[in-house]
């Protein structure tokens, strides 16, 4: 499958069909999840009451921003080792989407966390391991885009960006395990869906009434993001083709 889509012409044919399906289905599932989360499921008194409904935006965005960075690093690795141009196109498409989802994760976490913790996120960010590591992730996405924009040739930009993306990958497991590793330096709650250690053994998790719409919403967002990445990749490929045609015509003039 991946070897087939690695061919730009096959990718363009596949993405032309896949984009409307993934974006359309993703929006439908996401809308259903938000409707359930904002108006149907009961409030959670232990998590701030109705404000806990922010989880249906915050949790999928948190998972996706980490997943998107893994995708960015993976695409960068493929380009760095095999110089596959479509991988670099994918990395460039992932970066702004990842930055947007990281900002969304941060914003919704602040909205949900302040009444739940009793402290404003801006007052705890400097010593909270989870908040700080997510902020670093946002800076990595922004730094990747800024670095690429600052260099004068695409090869230099792709190489520098790939190195930054691969090195920054170490931050993803730090985000995931920060609450468990540095309990004394965070007020963030432990994981409720993907659990390890004591929480998994005690079967401490989220109730199905919340879990089902949450997971459907995440799957919907995943489809939507996949379609959006393919859309940006197509735009990048069309731009490269237009630049090549313009350069050829100028050389012939």
Question: pLDDT tens for residues 132-151?
Answer: 899 999 999 999 999 999 99
The least confident of 40-49, 92-101, 140-149, 232-241 is 40-49
Closest Cα to residue 105, out of 70, 136, 127?
136
What is the distance between the alpha carbons of residues 152 and 21, in angstroms, rounded to a whole number? 37
- pLDDT given for residue 128 in this prediction: 78
Q: Could you give the C-alpha distances from 172 to 81, 111, 193, in angstroms and in order?
A: 22, 23, 17
Q: Is the pLDDT of residue 204 over 90?
A: no
- The pLDDT mean for the chain works out to 88
Q: Is the pLDDT of residue 47 over 90?
A: no
Mean pLDDT of 225-231: 98
pLDDT digits (tens, 9 = 90+) for 8-30: 889 999 999 999 999 999 999 99
What is the distance between the alpha carbons of residues 163 and 75, in angstroms, rounded to a whole number? 11
In the chain, what percentage of residues exceed pLDDT 90?
65
- pLDDT given for residue 202 in this prediction: 44
The least confident of 53-67, 113-127, 217-231 is 113-127
Q: Is the pLDDT of residue 242 over 80?
A: yes
Structural domain count, the chain:
1
The helix (H) or strand (E) run that includes residue 213 is: helix 208-252
The domain containing residue 158 runs over which residues? Answer: 2-252
């Amino acid at each position: 499958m991946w070897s087939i889509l690695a061919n730009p012409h096959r990718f363009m044919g596949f993405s032309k069909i896949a984009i409307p399906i993934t974006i359309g289905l993703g929006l439908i599932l996401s809308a259903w999840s938000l409707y359930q989360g904002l108006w149907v499921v009961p409030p959670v008194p232990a998590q701030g009451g109705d404000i806990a409904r922010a989880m249906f935006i915050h949790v999928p965005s948190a998972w996706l921003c980490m997943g998107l960075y893994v995708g960015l690093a993976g695409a960068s690795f493929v380009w760095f080792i095999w110089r596959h141009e479509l991988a670099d196109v994918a990395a460039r498409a992932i970066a702004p989407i990842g930055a947007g989802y990281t900002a969304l994760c941060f914003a919704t976490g602040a909205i949900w966390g302040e009444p739940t913790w009793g402290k404003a996120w801006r007052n705890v960010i400097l010593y909270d391991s989870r908040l700080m590591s997510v902020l670093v992730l946002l800076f990595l996405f922004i730094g990747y885009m800024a670095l690429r924009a600052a260099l004068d040739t695409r090869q230099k930009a792709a190489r520098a960006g790939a190195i930054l993306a691969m090195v920054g990958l170490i931050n993803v497991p730090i985000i995931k395990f920060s609450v468990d590793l540095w309990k004394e330096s965070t007020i963030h709650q432990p994981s409720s869906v993907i659990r390890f250690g004591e929480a998994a053994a005690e079967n401490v998790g989220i109730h199905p009434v919340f879990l089902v719409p949450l997971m459907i919403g995440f799957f919907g967002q995943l489809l939507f993001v996949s379609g959006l990445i393919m859309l940006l990749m197509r735009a990048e490929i069309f731009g490269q083709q237009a630049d090549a045609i313009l350069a050829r015509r100028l050389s012939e003039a």
